Structure 1
Amino acid sequence: MKFDKAIKLMEQGYKLKRTNWNGDDQFVFLVKGETLGRTIEPHYTFDRVDSNLFRVLFDHNVFSDLLAIKTTSNQIQLGWLASQTDMLSDDWEVIENEQCN
C-alpha cells in the first residue's frame, strides 16, 4: 500500500512496516500527543531550573502527535521521519492487523 493509506491506518492505531526493510521486527506507529503528555508528565519534578518550561508545556497540552519507530535493536525512537523513498513507496503493510493500545 502507499504511504497515505499507511498514515491513515496509523491514525487508527495500527503498526506498519515496509516490506523492503531489513529488520523483520521493526515497525512505525503513531503516538498521540495527549498520550505522550500524560506519560511524560508524572516523571518530571519541577524543582529544576527549567521548571517553568515544563509547567508551560504540561499546563497547555502542547504535545502534538508524532510517528515513532521500533528499531531492530528493540528501542522506541520518537519523532521518526519518513524519507522520500518511504513516502513514495507502495510496499507498506500492516503488521498482522495488530493495533497499538
Structure 2
Amino acid sequence: MDFSDALRAIKAGHRLARAGWNGKGMFVFQVAGSRFRVNRPPLLGIYPEGTEITYQPHIDMKTADGSVVPWQPSQSDMAAEDWEIVA
C-alpha cells in the first residue's frame, strides 16, 4: 500500500511497517492524545507540578532493539508503496 493508505491505517489503530525496512520487528503506530497532570521529569521542570497539559496524538516507532521513539516519515517513506499492516 502507499503512504496515504498507510496513514489511514495507522489512524485506524493498525501497526504498519515497510517491507523494505531492515530491522526485525520494527513498526509504526499512533499514540493517542491525552490530558494529564505533570508529576515527574522531564515535564516537571518545564511546568509546575500539577499543571494539566494536553499530550497531542503522534506516531511512534518500535525499533529493532525494542525501544520506542518518536517517528517522522522520510521522503522515501512517503513515496514508498511497500507499506504493510503487521500483527
Short-chain TM bin: 0.7 to 0.9
Query: Percent of counterpart pairs with the same letter?
Result: 28
Give the strand-richer structure, 1 or 2: 2
TM-score by length of 2: 0.82
Corresponding residue number in structure 1 for 2:51: 55
Determine if contact 2:62/2:68 at 8 Å carries over to the other structure.
yes
Q: Which runs of 5+ in 2 are unaligned?
A: none
Residue by residue over 1:52-100, the C-alpha shift from the partner in whole angstroms, topping out at 9 and shown as x without a partner, is 386152xxxx2211000000111011x20000000010000000xx3xx
Q: Which runs of 5+ in 1 are unaligned?
A: none
Q: How many pairs does the alignment contain?
A: 85
Task: Give me the CA root mean square deviation.
Answer: 2.4
Over 2 Å off, 4+ runs: 41-45, 48-54
Identify which of structures 1 and 2 has the higher relative contact order when contacts are C-alpha pairs closer than 8 Å and 6+ apart.
Answer: 1
Pair 1:84–1:13, CA change in 2 (3 A): same
Determine if contact 2:38/2:49 at 8 Å carries over to the other structure.
no
Following the alignment from structure 1 to structure 2, what is the Cα–Cα distance between the partners of residues 4 and 18?
A: 13
Give the helix-richer structure, 1 or 2: 1
Q: 2:40 aligns with which of 37, 44, 66?
A: 44
